[in-house]
Amino acid sequence: MTRRTGYDTVKRLLDVVAASLLLVVTLPLQLVVALIVRTRLGRPVLFSQQRPGRDGEVFTLVKFRTMRPAGPGEDVRSDAERLTPAGARLRSLSLDELPTLLNVVRGDMSLVGPRPLLVDYLDRYTLRQARRHEVRPGITGLAQVSGRNALSWDDRLQLDVEYVDRCSLWLDLAILVRTVSAVAGRRGIAERGSATMSEFTGSGAPHA
C-alpha cells in the first residue's frame, strides 16, 4: 500500500488552504449557480451520494444537482433522459463540482487524485485497478486531464493506478495546470454516445 508521509502531509496542508480560499472566492458564483439550479431544477439544490474514498472508506460526495429525478412510474433508462439543458451547461463548465471543495476541506478528498466512483464498483475492480483507493480521491486527476470520460474504462483506471505510482507535488501541479486547459476546452465531458459515461461492469476476474 502506498504511503508517502512527507508528501501526504504537505499535500493535505495545501489542499486545506487552497480549497478554503477557493470556497471563499467562488462563493458569489456558487450562489448564482444555486439560484439557477433552484429555478431550473427545483429542490434540492445539492446532490449527495455515497462514494468510496481512500482505502475504500465511504463518504458523502456533494455537488450541485444537474439531473431531474425520475417521476412516479417513469421508466428512465439513461442519464440523457434526466440531464437537463441547464445541468448539461453546468457540467460542461465543471461548475457543478464547486461544492465538492467542502469534501476536500473535510479530508474526504484531495484537489488531485483518482475520481471517486460508485460504491457498487468496488467489487468489480481487478486487484491492480483497486489500487486507485490507496490515495485520497480527487476533484481532478491524471485520467481527467488525459481524456476524461472520452477514455475507455480500462484506460481511465490504468491512469488512476499510474497516478498512485507517480504521485508527487510536481505531478499534482502539472495536473492542476492541465485541468484549467481541459475545462476551458470542455474536452471529454461525456463518453461518445452517452450523456455522461457508461456503467463500469468490470475488466475481467475481480482478483486478477
Q: For residue range 29-51, what is the model confidence (pLDDT) as tens digits?
A: 999 999 999 998 888 999 999 99
pLDDT at 197: 73
For the segment 178-197, what is each residue's pLDDT rounded down to a tens digit?
998 888 876 656 665 555 67
Query: The C-alpha cell of 89 is what?
Result: 451547461
**Does 196 map to a domain?**
no
Q: Is residue 52 left, alpha or beta, with left meaning phi > 0 and alpha meaning psi from -120 to 50?
A: beta
Cα 14 from chain centre: 19
The terminus-to-terminus CA distance of the chain in angstroms comes to 17
**Does 32 map to a domain?**
yes
**Does 4 map to a domain?**
no
CA distance 99 to 112: 15
pLDDT at 184: 80
**Does 205 map to a domain?**
no
Average pLDDT over residues 169-173: 96
Number of domains making up the chain: 1
CA distance 158 to 146: 11
**Does 149 map to a domain?**
yes
Which amino acid is it at 48?
A: S
**To which H or E segment does residue 59 belong?**
strand 58-64
**Per-residue DSSP letter, 122:** G
- Asked whether the CA dihedral 164, 154, 99, 57 is positive or negative, the reply is negative
Q: Cβ(37)–Cβ(65) under 8 Å?
A: yes
**Does 207 map to a domain?**
no
**Does 191 map to a domain?**
no
For the chain, percent of residues with pLDDT exceeding 70 = 85
Query: Which range of residues forms the domain containing residue 156?
Result: 9-69+80-185
Query: The C-alpha cell of 91 is what?
Result: 457540467
**Does 41 map to a domain?**
yes
Those residues whose C-beta lies under 8 Å from the C-beta of residue 84, and which sit 6 or more positions away, are 40, 41, 66, 67, 68
Least confident piece of the model among 66-70, 94-98, 170-174, 202-206: 202-206
List the Cα angle 5/97/172 in 5-degree steps: 30
